[in-house]
Chains A and B, each alone.
Chain A
Amino acid sequence: MRGITKRFPGVVANDGVDFEAAVGEVHALLGENGAGKSTLSNILTGLYRPDEGEILLYGRRVEFQSPRDALDAGIGMVHQHFRLVEPFTVAENVILGDHRGEGRSFRLRRRAIERRVGEISRRYGLHVDPRARIWQLSVGEQQRVEILKALYREARILILDEPTAVLTPQEAEALFATLREMAAEGRTVIFISHKLHEVKAVADRVTVLRGGRSIATVQGAEATPRSLAALMVGREVAGPERVESARSVGDIVLELEDVWVTGDRGADAVCGVSLAVRTGEIVAIAGVAGNGQRELAEAVAGIRPPARGSVRVLGRAIRAGDPRSAIRAGVAYVPEDRLGTGLAPSLSIASNLALKAYREPHVSRGPLLRLRAIRDRALELIARYRIAAPGPNAQARQLSGGNLQKVVLAREFSGRPRLLVAAAPTRGLDVGAIETVHAYLRDAAANGVGVLLISEDLDEILALADRVAVLYEGRLLGEFAAAEADLEEIGLAMAGGHDRR
């Protein structure tokens, strides 16, 4: 790709970017959110057309009219925000839009497709049931489907946008092995990330983007996380390091007693979890997505009624299946699915910031909303949380991932919570935004809020949590004091290799 420039109203997303990947290499594209990585990959996959510049594929100039052209040319993409049809099965999603292979036949040969999908998934260790429906799958499993889709199409160039965000260290390692194997087969893997150690671990070469420009291309072997970070943000940054702060741990805020929750598939997703979170404490639940995290979080937030057991906040039971009762009790919830659950994407930022507070007297007077108060509050929160937004009336969907999360956090913190449930709060965010989110979580705990952090990112957990428990297949396995926990041991428990207690 030479001199690629793409302008959007108000921003230049790519400004004369040069990018080159060779056959048989894993090439990492590194940059913060908003650096132009996604735009560049969208151009390469035919979703956008560049305003300037050209794309050369195996030495020949190509111009993609649509994503289908790019797919036909052998470019596959695993998006960060999944492109899956929720009511369809895994196999159906895999052949969706495939106009050359099985997907072309009028009558779908379901069994053959499922067998083929099953083969690929076994071969690359991407375990997922081809007959499961997408909405039943966890975020992590859905991502595997995305990877399967590209592999099924026999993509020769595979672009992965933040693929490891939902994987355990072991799984990520397995994926890296897959990627290297694919490169060895003569494919080209373009790996978009802002996790430095991953890039270092897997990439042959690394191209760094910053502010829409290509800054440098370096050999993976020669780079250090520190040097890459410096290139990426243009200054020296520290990784997530444990900050010991004097927090006074007090009374119990959240008490779970033998909680059982039924998942979407009708099976027990959470099996007899008992746990307590005290004020000023960060308790982390580690585990790979799909092991009951979402169901547990939703039970605490009152969204999903537990089948058995009790959820008590400050000693009072949450009315099962009534989120409003949880909100009143002081439970703030940062869901892992920001844009679909945490926010109403077409509504304004101001409306989204008032999503929970609209019932309160400072925002509404009787049945009437105080529109000016909502707007003023939005302006104040945008300024305080440094949300990069065109204004309070901009649609939420226009914001980048990091800013979306800031909107959610700003809203949840402004409700003066007693308990904060944060699910994958930094998934898909860049280094700068992660630092911010971590600081907010620490502040919350320092202010006496009990924090239940549900995360797959062990670095994050070890940096933040006081205690760690591992959720595996709906059960809590082991509990570690984070300060003395061993990464390997927790990772092992996440993969189910730990003895059940």
Chain B
Amino acid sequence: MVRPGGRLRIERRLRQPRWLVVAVPAGSLVFAFLASGLVLVATGHDPLSSYRQLLDAAFVNNGAIGQTLISATPLAFTGLAAAAAFRMRLFNIGGEGQLYVGAIAAAAAGLYFGGSGGPSAFAIAAMVVAGCAGGAAWALIPGALRAFFKTNEIITSLMLNYVAGYVLTYLVFNTESYWRQTTGFNAAVFPTSKPLPPSANWPTATIHVQGGVPLPLGAGIALLAATVVWVLYRRTRFGFEVQVLGDSPRAAQYAGMRTRRKILAVMAISGALAGLGGASQDGDFRHTLDADPNGLQKQYYGYAGIVVAALGRYNPFAVLLVAFLVGGLQNAGNTLQGADFPSGLVGVIQGLILFSALGGELLVRYRLRFARRAEATPVVEPA
């Protein structure tokens, strides 16, 4: 038996040098730009000027960073939500639905407390709390099923996304609920949701670069949330238990850790983070409950958050950074597409970048090597 020589083999790395953590993503990015360069040349575009435009639109142009922050904020929340759960190998794929339910609950709080004439800060705080509670409650459904019946949380949390989507649409389009605008001319023609009262609109801070970048309150809350998650997982007994459970549930049980409580708590935290993203959508950007099936539900923030979490290696601060970069990419895509730059092409470039970034992760844990030409392996019968 002769094996062909020069096979490419994938081997597990015996150790992971620190420089790889930087070199591999950088290399992946270069690869992605080279690959999408080919696509651009093939479609008659100049890759270099396209990339220049991309960069400008994402981070350089006037107002670019502001737009990027708007795209990045929900990704930061859903990314943190996924990272918080995945750390315990609890695969909460339900960030999407938890975000909707958070948005529903926060909108109710905003409409109720914002319209009551109380201080704006109170209405906003109520929205934050309601968003967390809504997301957490929705996440606790798969959490409880997992904790008490060992149901696979991937499937239950994923399926609940669709349920949450339909509930969201139903509340405004199919029933005269608290969230639906029932008075006025437009309401009679087309179902819409009630606008939030002004005191329930979240404020924006301005950073004085690039002629003033508006920083949404949600972005600030995301930064705070990342810090809380980091402290919780790195410095607390709770975080220690989560680490042990994520690595070896048997060892955790052996050490007397309460597995069920931890599953419930981590799912609740994860859901609360996603729900915060929903509250921020209401308060920061949409100023109403966006129930349109082609609106919030077409953004797929929850699913994108899973990618963001993976690229950030479940580190909360890295998740923020990745959310910012991916947000930039999305924002640039929106700006770039036009008559001579089809939106499909933007999608190709975005896809290639994400694909190589995720594929590159393989190289951190494994290495490729070319096997030398093999000798013939003799087959000898036993004496």
Assess whether B1 is in contact with A72, with CB atoms less than 8 Å apart: yes
Also in contact, A327 and B244, with CB within 8 A (given A24-B383, A58-B380, A344-B251):
no
Q: 1/0 per residue A39-69: CB within 8 Å of B?
A: 0000000000000000001101111111001
Which A residues are CB-close (under 8 A) to B379?
72-73
Assess whether B251 is in contact with A342, with CB atoms less than 8 Å apart: yes
Which A residues are CB-close (under 8 A) to B248?
340-341, 343-346
Also in contact, A63 and B251, with CB within 8 A (given A364-B237, A368-B236, A369-B240):
no
Which residues of A from 339 to 396 have beta carbons under 8 Å from B? 340-347, 351, 354-356, 358-359, 364, 367-369, 371
Assess whether B375 is in contact with A61, with CB atoms less than 8 Å apart: yes
Assess whether B14 is in contact with A355, with CB atoms less than 8 Å apart: no
Tell me how far the C-beta of A408 lies from the nearest C-beta in chain B, rounded to whole angstroms.
10
Which B residues are CB-close (under 8 A) to A58?
378, 380
Assess whether A65 is in contact with B3, with CB atoms less than 8 Å apart: yes
- The answer to the question of B150 belonging to the interface, with a C-beta cut-off of 8 Å to chain A, is no
Assess whether B371 is in contact with A344, with CB atoms less than 8 Å apart: no
Stretch at the interface among B217-225, B252-260, B298-306: B252-260
- Across chains A and B, the number of contacting residue pairs, with CB separation under 8 Å, is 114
- The answer to the question of A442 belonging to the interface, with a C-beta cut-off of 8 Å to chain B, is no
Q: 1/0 per residue B214-245: CB within 8 Å of A?
A: 00000000000000000000011111110110
Q: 1/0 per residue B332-353: CB within 8 Å of A?
A: 0000000000000000000000
Assess whether B378 is in contact with A347, with CB atoms less than 8 Å apart: no
Assess whether B383 is in contact with A351, with CB atoms less than 8 Å apart: no
Assess whether A63 is in contact with B374, with CB atoms less than 8 Å apart: yes
Which residues of A from 283 to 316 have beta carbons under 8 Å from B? 301-303
Which B residues are CB-close (under 8 A) to A326?
256
Assess whether A327 is in contact with B247, with CB atoms less than 8 Å apart: no
Tell me how far the C-beta of B251 lies from the nearest C-beta in chain A, rounded to whole angstroms.
5
Assess whether A371 is in contact with B371, with CB atoms less than 8 Å apart: no
Tell me how far the C-beta of A97 lies from the nearest C-beta in chain B, rounded to whole angstroms.
17
Give complex CA distance A187, B383 in Å: 8
Assess whether B247 is in contact with A346, with CB atoms less than 8 Å apart: yes
Assess whether B240 is in contact with A354, with CB atoms less than 8 Å apart: yes
- The answer to the question of B9 belonging to the interface, with a C-beta cut-off of 8 Å to chain A, is yes
Q: 1/0 per residue B361-383: CB within 8 Å of A?
A: 00000000001101111111011
Q: Which B-chain residue is minimally distant from A337 (CB atoms)?
A: B250
- The answer to the question of B7 belonging to the interface, with a C-beta cut-off of 8 Å to chain A, is yes
Which one of B247, B257, B372, B374 has the highest number of Cβ atoms from chain A below 10 Å of its Cβ? B247
How many A residues have CB within 8 A of the partner chain?
52
Give complex CA distance A368, B383 in Å: 67
- The answer to the question of A459 belonging to the interface, with a C-beta cut-off of 8 Å to chain B, is no
- The answer to the question of B208 belonging to the interface, with a C-beta cut-off of 8 Å to chain A, is no
Assess whether A368 is in contact with B235, with CB atoms less than 8 Å apart: yes
Interface residue from A57, A69, A303 paired with B253 (Cβ < 8 Å)? A303
- The answer to the question of B18 belonging to the interface, with a C-beta cut-off of 8 Å to chain A, is no
Interface residue from A8, A322, A346, A371 paired with B256 (Cβ < 8 Å)? A322
Decide if the interface of chain A is mainly helix, strand, loop or mixed: loop
Which A residues are CB-close (under 8 A) to B380?
57-58, 60, 74, 156
- The answer to the question of A260 belonging to the interface, with a C-beta cut-off of 8 Å to chain B, is no
Assess whether B238 is in contact with A367, with CB atoms less than 8 Å apart: yes
Assess whether A63 is in contact with B14, with CB atoms less than 8 Å apart: no
Assess whether B254 is in contact with A341, with CB atoms less than 8 Å apart: yes
Tell me how far the C-beta of A21 lies from the nearest C-beta in chain B, rounded to whole angstroms.
13
Tell me how far the C-beta of A333 lies from the nearest C-beta in chain B, rounded to whole angstroms.
7
Tell me how far the C-beta of B381 lies from the nearest C-beta in chain A, rounded to whole angstroms.
8
- The answer to the question of A9 belonging to the interface, with a C-beta cut-off of 8 Å to chain B, is yes
Which residues of B from 239 to 285 have beta carbons under 8 Å from A? 239-241, 243-244, 247-248, 250-258
Which A residues are CB-close (under 8 A) to B256?
302, 322-327, 356
- The answer to the question of A186 belonging to the interface, with a C-beta cut-off of 8 Å to chain B, is yes
Assess whether A185 is in contact with B382, with CB atoms less than 8 Å apart: yes
- The answer to the question of A216 belonging to the interface, with a C-beta cut-off of 8 Å to chain B, is no
Also in contact, A355 and B244, with CB within 8 A (given A23-B382, A186-B383):
yes
Give complex CA distance A371, B236 in Å: 9
Interface residue from B15, B237, B252 paired with A9 (Cβ < 8 Å)? B15
Assess whether A356 is in contact with B255, with CB atoms less than 8 Å apart: yes
Q: Which B-chain residue is minimally distant from A324 (CB atoms)?
A: B256
Assess whether B382 is in contact with A187, with CB atoms less than 8 Å apart: yes
Which one of B1, B376, B379, B383 has the highest number of Cβ atoms from chain A below 10 Å of its Cβ? B383
Give complex CA distance A57, B251 in Å: 43
Which B residues are CB-close (under 8 A) to A36?
none
- The answer to the question of A163 belonging to the interface, with a C-beta cut-off of 8 Å to chain B, is no
Q: Which A-chain residue is minimally distant from B381 (CB atoms)?
A: A156
Q: Which A-chain residue is minimally distant from B369 (CB atoms)?
A: A49
Assess whether A323 is in contact with B253, with CB atoms less than 8 Å apart: yes
Give complex CA distance A63, B9 in Å: 15
Given contacts A23-B383, A58-B378, A367-B237, 12 further A-B contacts (CB under 8 A): A9-B14, A60-B376, A60-B378, A65-B9, A156-B380, A186-B382, A302-B256, A323-B253, A345-B247, A347-B247, A351-B240, A354-B240
Can you give 7 contacting A-B residue pairs, CB < 8 Å?
A58-B380, A60-B376, A66-B9, A156-B382, A324-B257, A341-B254, A359-B237
B contacts, CB < 8 Å to A: 1, 3, 7, 9, 14-15, 235-241, 243-244, 247-248, 250-258, 371-372, 374-380, 382-383
Closest 9 CB pairs of A and B: A324-B256, A323-B256, A344-B247, A58-B380, A186-B382, A60-B378, A344-B248, A344-B251, A186-B383
